C-alpha cells in the first residue's frame, strides 16, 4: 500500500504536459455550488456550463479567464455535491488546471474521470492572484514565474496514475 503512495511520475492525463497560465486565486472550501450553481445543471454541455462557472462568488470570473489559466485555492476544494458538472464547468470556462491544498473526495474522483488536471499543493498559499505559473504535469514541479519560486506537488498514488494514463476510468476498464 505505502509503495502506492510514493510513486511520483507521469501525473495527469493530458495531451499537454506543460501548462502555463495566470492564476485566479480562491480561498478555502470552494464548493460545487460555487463552481456551478444547480440552476445550470439542466445542461451537459461543457461550454454552456463554463459560461456560468464561479458565477455566485465571482461574477466576473469567466470574463477574466484566458484559455489555459489556472485556479489556485486553499483546502477542501470542490466540497459539496457530487455533480460532475463542476470539473466540466471549469474545463468549459477555459481553466487548464486546479491547484489546491486539498480536494473534497467526490470532486477528486470526478476531476480524474473528466480529465481536469489537478494537483495537491501544500504551498498553494504562497501563490498570489495574477501570478504566472508553469506547471510540469510529468514531474509535478510548479514554477511561479512571477515570484521566481518553485514548488513540488503531492504525487498521485500509482493506482490513480494508471487510470489517468489510460485516459480516464472507462478507458482504464477496457485495458483490465
Partner 1 sequence: MPYTIAEKILLAHTDKTDIHPGEFIEARVDLALGNDITAPFAIAEFKKSGVRKVFDPKKIVLVPDHFAPAKDLQSANQCRILADFAKEQKIENYFEVGCMGIEHALLPEKGLVSPGDLVIGADSHTCTYGALGSFATGVGSTDLARAFIDGKCWLRVPQTIKFIYKGKLKKWTSGKDLILYTIGQIGVDGALGKVMEFSGPVINKLSVDDRFAMSNMAIEAGGVTGIIEPDEIAFDFIKRVHSQKFIVHSKKLRTTNYELRTLKSDKDAYYENIYEYDVSKLEPQLACPHLPSNVKPVSKLGDIALDQVVIGSCTNGRISDLRIAARILKGKKIKPGLRLIVIPATQKIYLEAVKEGLAEIFVEAGGVFSTPTCGPCLGGHMGILAEGERCLATTNRNFMGRMGSPKSEVYLSSPAVAAASAIKGRITHPDELGVRC
Q: And the C-alpha cell for 60?
A: 466576473
Q: And the C-alpha cell for 94?
A: 477555459
The residues with which 143 forms a beta bridge, in sequence order, are 134, 150
Please pick, from the candidates 80, 136, 165, 167, the single residue that binds partner 1 as defined by CB under 8 A. Answer: 80
Q: Does 79 bind partner 1 (CB under 8 A)?
A: yes
| Minimum gap (Å) between residue 146 Cβ and partner 1 | 29
Q: Does 29 bind partner 1 (CB under 8 A)?
A: yes
Q: Does 168 bind partner 1 (CB under 8 A)?
A: yes
Q: What is the DSSP letter of 157?
A: P
Q: Does 13 bind partner 1 (CB under 8 A)?
A: no
Helices 85-93 and 105-114: crossing angle, nearest 10°?
Answer: 50
Q: What is the DSSP letter of 81?
A: -
> What is d(CA 26, CA 61) in angstroms, rounded to the nearest whole number?
11
Q: And the C-alpha cell for 160?
A: 490513480
Q: What is the DSSP letter of 79?
A: B
Piece of 7-15, 82-90, 118-126, 137-145 that binds partner 1 (CB under 8 A): 82-90
| Minimum gap (Å) between residue 18 Cβ and partner 1 | 26
Q: Does 9 bind partner 1 (CB under 8 A)?
A: no
Q: Does 127 bind partner 1 (CB under 8 A)?
A: no
Piece of 17-25, 77-85, 125-133, 135-143 that binds partner 1 (CB under 8 A): 77-85
Q: Give the residue carrying C-alpha cell 460555487.
A: 34
> What is d(CA 7, CA 33) in angstroms, rounded to the nearest whole number?
33
10 Å Cβ neighbour count for 162? Answer: 15
Q: Does 167 bind partner 1 (CB under 8 A)?
A: no
Q: Does 173 bind partner 1 (CB under 8 A)?
A: yes
Task: Write out the residues near partner 1 by the rule CB under 8 A.
Answer: 1-2, 4-5, 29, 31, 33-34, 37-39, 41-44, 55-57, 75-76, 79-85, 102, 104-106, 109-110, 113-114, 157, 159-160, 163, 168-170, 173-174
Amino acid at each position: 500500500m505505502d509503495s502506492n503512495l510514493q510513486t511520483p511520475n507521469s501525473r495527469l492525463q493530458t495531451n499537454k504536459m506543460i501548462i502555463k497560465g495566470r492564476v485566479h486565486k480562491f480561498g478555502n472550501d470552494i464548493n460545487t455550488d460555487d463552481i456551478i450553481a444547480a440552476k445550470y445543471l439542466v445542461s451537459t454541455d461543457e461550454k454552456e456550463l463554463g459560461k456560468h462557472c464561479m458565477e455566485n462568488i465571482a461574477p466576473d470570473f469567466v470574463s477574466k479567464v484566458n484559455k489555459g489559466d489556472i485556479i489556485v485555492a486553499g483546502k477542501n476544494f470542490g466540497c459539496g455535491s457530487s455533480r460532475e458538472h463542476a470539473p466540466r464547468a471549469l474545463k468549459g470556462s477555459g481553466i487548464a488546471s486546479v491547484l489546491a491544498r486539498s480536494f473534497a473526495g467526490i470532486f477528486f474522483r470526478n476531476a480524474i474521470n473528466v480529465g481536469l488536471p489537478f494537483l495537491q499543493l501544500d504551498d498553494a498559499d504562497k501563490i498570489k492572484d495574477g501570478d504566472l505559473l508553469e506547471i510540469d504535469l510529468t514531474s509535478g514541479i510548479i514554477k511561479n514565474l512571477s515570484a521566481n519560486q518553485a514548488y513540488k506537488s503531492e504525487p498521485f498514488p500509482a493506482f490513480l496514475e494508471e487510470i489517468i494514463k489510460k485516459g480516464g476510468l472507462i478507458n482504464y476498464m477496457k485495458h483490465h
